[in-house]
Chain A
Amino acid sequence: MAITAPDPTVDPTAVPQTKGPLRRALDRFFENRAARAGLLIVIPILLAVSTYPLWWPFGPNTIDLRAMNKAPSAIHWLGSDGVGRDVMARLLQGGRISLLVAVSSVAISTVIGFLVGAVASFGGRLVDGTVMRLVDLAMTLPPVIFLLVLASIAGTGIAPTILVISLLSWPVLSRMVRARLLELRERDFVVAARGMGAGLPHLLFRHGLPNCIDILVVYATLQIANAILLEAGLSFLGLGIAPPEASWGNMLNLARSTVVLENYPWQWMFPGAALVLTVLAINFIGDGLRDAFDPRSDLN
């Protein structure tokens, strides 16, 4: 075999360009079959829920007096309820409300959780001790009772429900963020940033946030599923979204009547199925993200 002369245009010391850590995590995410299935379920649901007024003839509160408690048919695909409202339209509108409540409450609790954890870890020993004891206190409150008390103070409706759910779920996140940042604070590259004169905002948002992004994304995803369930639970108890506004929880509330439960299964079965399917799919995505961000997964 002939020995070829080295190609002068290729620098042998050049380093091949590879992808950044976020990009590699996303690649791993898309290799995960369950996560892809989750996306395949969630994306159509999101599309349907956000665009339904454009293609579905009925509104969530349109009453069709000729169709009360009618089984699924060509006109009302998922049937109609006791006052002649279309179950399909209410299901889609309910999805809108449920997802809106879940996404905004998770967004709020993620911000609170990150900031509390960040302040605790970078604020010095005294601040850390005080803040974390308060977090401990918040975590010892029995969640169901706390939820009911908060809900009875805040009242029903979309904004109070968002408030109640977001106030309940940040402590766990703030502990995870604190643990991560305490470790990060001693890392050499953070010490280097301090040595160059970095203040708290720089340390938190240039180093803290990017190095917590995995915790935040995974927490937020899994928490969305949880928040949907919480909203459904609150609405089922009559403390969340009040009728006539639709949500998956208050649609399930109908099943409390044995008449509906036995004779009109389409009125509670579809919102129930939508709830289970969405929560399951979001959990798949959350698990996929967690695996993708796991530093050990690079070794496999």
Chain B
Amino acid sequence: MADAPFLAVKNLAKHFAPTAFSRGPVVRALEDISFDIRRGQVVGLVGESGSGKTTIGRSVLRLIEPTSGQINYDGTDITRLGAAQLRRQRRKMQYIFQDPFASLSPRMTIGQILTEGLDIQGIGKKSERRAKAETALAAVELPVDAYDRYAHEFSGGQRQRIGIARALTLEPEFIVADEPVSALDVSIQAQIINLLRDLQLRLGLTMLFISHDLAVVEYICDTVIVLYLGRIMEVAPAAELYARPQHPYTRALLSAIPSLDPLARQDRQVLKGDIPSPANPPSGCVFRTRCPFALEACVGAVPPLRATAEGHLKACIRDDIA
């Protein structure tokens, strides 16, 4: 099957239950998440803080255990893998972290950080590992003499490059980039985004790109998934989503992008209030409490994700607002 998706997530859910000795509500961080990523595609995951972007990113790599659902990675369901199989699987999938200051160990040299994965996986001899690490350093345009230095000697942008180089040393097929630029200066953001774009094209990487910066997502992603309170609101090819947003939440997000055109500012649609607590989500459509188009019917049932055009899915019962 040539058309089989590279990564297929089906009905993924993550609930954080209270511990044995404490009482409290179950936090429903993710509910019924399904999406596909084709090989070589970059899929963007957008949504405001607390919508579950990072939880999806980490669940997909099984850095946190999902409560239910399947994650089919190139035909294998990684939620069912045993420890040894998972360990082998981890070679193929890597994570790039948001905070370049927390993601590098302060007690290891860059060389140790870059060869850590090869060491864990038992790949190559010492000299070969070093060669691979130096190749990765070159790929992220850092000098080779960074090898013997410590992370604290580098700036934020440089550290993020090291984080990217670390993800590359295992030569993965799939990378989850969790807001890789949101902790950086704007001028450095562009460099890192271009670097990621180049690497993705050159190495044929498949990528799940998490961000809340819609401009960055438009630039780098083929398909965009809009997330709200642990549920998918809309899925569409990037160009289509920006041109014809279907879901009221997507429209609100897009209208929040700062614009230089003073006329365009006037019909800005501002959402009121905060995202509700995932410990106590609204019934029916989770967005209805802030949705300007909400109807009585939105309270009753969770709107299913349905196709409105080729490759364009939305979870909204109204068709008259697009």
Taking Cβ atoms with an 8 Å cutoff, the residues of A that contact B are 11, 13-18, 20-22, 125, 187-189, 191-199, 202, 206-207, 210-211
Q: Are B106 and A198 in contact (CB under 8 A)?
A: no
Partner of A188, one of B19, B99, B149, B152: B99
The residue of chain A having its C-beta at the shortest distance from the C-beta of B150 within the complex is A20
Interface membership of chain B positions 91-107, coded 1 if the CB is closer than 8 angstroms to chain A and 0 otherwise: 10111010100111111
Chain A contacts of B121 at CB under 8 A? 196-197
Please, how many angstroms separate the alpha-carbon atoms of A13 and B95 in the complex?
27
* B240 close to A (CB within 8 Å): no
B306 at the binding interface (Cβ < 8 Å): no
Residues of B with C-beta under 8 A to A11: 143
Set B83, B107, B146: member contacting A210, Cβ < 8 A: B107
B48 within 8 Å of A (CB atoms)? no
B143 close to A195 (CB less than 8 A): no
Give the residues in chain B near A192, CB-CB below 8 Å: 95, 97, 103, 166
Question: Are B103 and A197 interface neighbours, CB within 8 A?
Answer: no
Q: How many B residues have CB within 8 A of the partner chain? A: 41
CB contacts (< 8 Å) of B102 on chain A: these are 187-189
Q: Which 5 A-B pairs have the closest CB atoms?
A: A196-B117, A188-B103, A197-B90, A197-B87, A188-B102
Closest-by-CB residue of B relative to A206 is: B116
Write out, one digit per residue, whether chain B residues 145-174 have a CB within 8 A of any chain A CB (1) or not (0). 110111011100010000000100010000
The complex places the Cα of A52 from the Cα of B166 at a distance, in Å, of 54
**B321 close to A (CB within 8 Å):** no
Question: Quick one: which of A17, A125, A187 contacts B20, CB cutoff 8 A?
Answer: A125
B255 at the A interface (CB under 8 A): no
Q: Pick the contact of B150 from A14, A21, A191, A202 — CB < 8 Å?
A: A21
Shortest Cβ gap from A23 to chain B (Å): 10
Residues of B contacting A22 in the complex (Cβ-Cβ under 8 angstroms): 107
The verdict on A191 contacting B20 (CB below 8 Å), with A14-B145, A17-B153, A210-B107 known, is no
Q: B53-89 CB contact bits vs A (8 Å, 1 = yes)?
A: 0000010010100000000000000000001001110
CB-defined contacts of A191 to chain B, threshold 8 Å: 58, 63, 95, 97
A18 to B116, CA, bound (A): 22
Max chain B Cβ within 10 angstroms of own Cβ: one of A16, A20, A188, A206: A188
Residues from chain A with a CB closer than 8 A to the CB of B116 are 193, 196, 198, 206
Given contacts A11-B143, A15-B146, A18-B153, contact A195 B107 (CB under 8 A): no
From B63, B97, B109, B148, give the contact of A194 (CB < 8 A): B63
* A202 interface neighbour in B103, B104, B109, B120, Cβ under 8 Å: B120
Residues of B110-159 at the interface with A, using a CB-CB cut-off of 8 Å, are 113, 116-117, 120-121, 143, 145-146, 148-150, 152-154, 158
Given contact pairs A16-B153, A17-B149, A195 touches B104 in the complex (Cβ within 8 A): no
Beta-carbon nearest neighbor of B101 in chain A:
A188
Contact with A along B24-50 (1 / 0, CB 8 A): 000000000000000000000000000
Q: Can you identify 20 A-B contacts, CB atoms within 8 angstroms?
A: A14-B145, A15-B149, A16-B153, A17-B148, A17-B149, A18-B153, A20-B107, A21-B106, A189-B102, A189-B103, A189-B113, A191-B58, A191-B97, A192-B95, A193-B116, A193-B120, A195-B61, A198-B116, A199-B83, A210-B107
Q: Name which of B61, B91, B102, B104 has the most chain A CB atoms within 10 A of its CB.
A: B102
Chain A neighbourhood of B152, CB < 8 A: 18, 21
B-to-A contact residues, CB < 8 Å:
19-20, 58, 61, 63, 83, 86-88, 90-91, 93-95, 97, 99, 102-109, 113, 116-117, 120-121, 143, 145-146, 148-150, 152-154, 158, 166, 170
Residues of chain B lying within 8 A (CB to CB) of residue A17: 148-149, 153
Q: Could you tell me the distance between the alpha carbons of A287 and B24 in the complex, rounded to whole angstroms?
A: 43
Shortest CB–CB separation between residue A207 and chain B, in angstroms?
A: 7
A21 in contact with B107 given A15-B146, A193-B116 (CB within 8 Å): yes
Contact yes or no, A197 B149, CB < 8 A: no
Other than the given A17-B153, A21-B152, 6 more pairs (CB < 8 A) read A18-B153, A193-B116, A193-B120, A197-B121, A199-B120, A211-B105
Please give, as numbers and ranges, the residues of chain A lying within 8 Å of B90 by CB-CB distance. 195-197
Query: Is the CB–CB distance between B94 and A195 below 8 Å?
Result: yes
Tell me the complex Cα distance, A81–B230, Å. 81
Q: A15-B146, A17-B149, A196-B120 are in contact. Are A189 and B91 (CB under 8 A)?
A: no
Residues of A within 8 A of B150 (CB): 18, 20-21
Closest Cβ neighbor of B178 among chain A residues: A188
| Nearest CB of B to A52, in Å | 40
Write the nearest CB–CB distance from B177 to chain A, whole angstroms: 13
Q: A17–B147 Cα gap in the complex (Å)?
A: 11
Q: Within the complex, what minimum Cβ distance (angstroms) separates A165 from chain B? A: 31
Q: Which residue of B lies closest to A190 (CB)?
A: B105
Give the complex CA separation of A207 and B120 in angstroms.
13
Chain A: CB-nearest residue to B103: A188
A216 to chain B, nearest CB (A): 13
**Residue of B86, B93, B117 ringed by the most chain A CB atoms within 10 A:** B117
**Roughly how many angstroms separate A193 CA and B90 CA in the complex, as a whole number?**
10
Complex: chain B residue closest to A184, CB-CB: B105
Chain B residues whose CB sits within 8 angstroms of the CB of A125 once the complex forms = 19-20
| Interface contact A199-B87, CB-CB below 8 Å | yes
Residues of B within 8 A of A15 (CB): 146, 149, 153-154, 158
- Report the separation of the CA atoms of residues A187 and B97 in the bound assembly, to the nearest whole angstrom: 11
Determine the distance from Cα of A18 to Cα of B152 in the docked complex, in whole angstroms: 9
Name the CB-closest residue of B to A126: B20
Interface centre among B61, B113, B116, B149, by most A CB within 10 Å?
B116
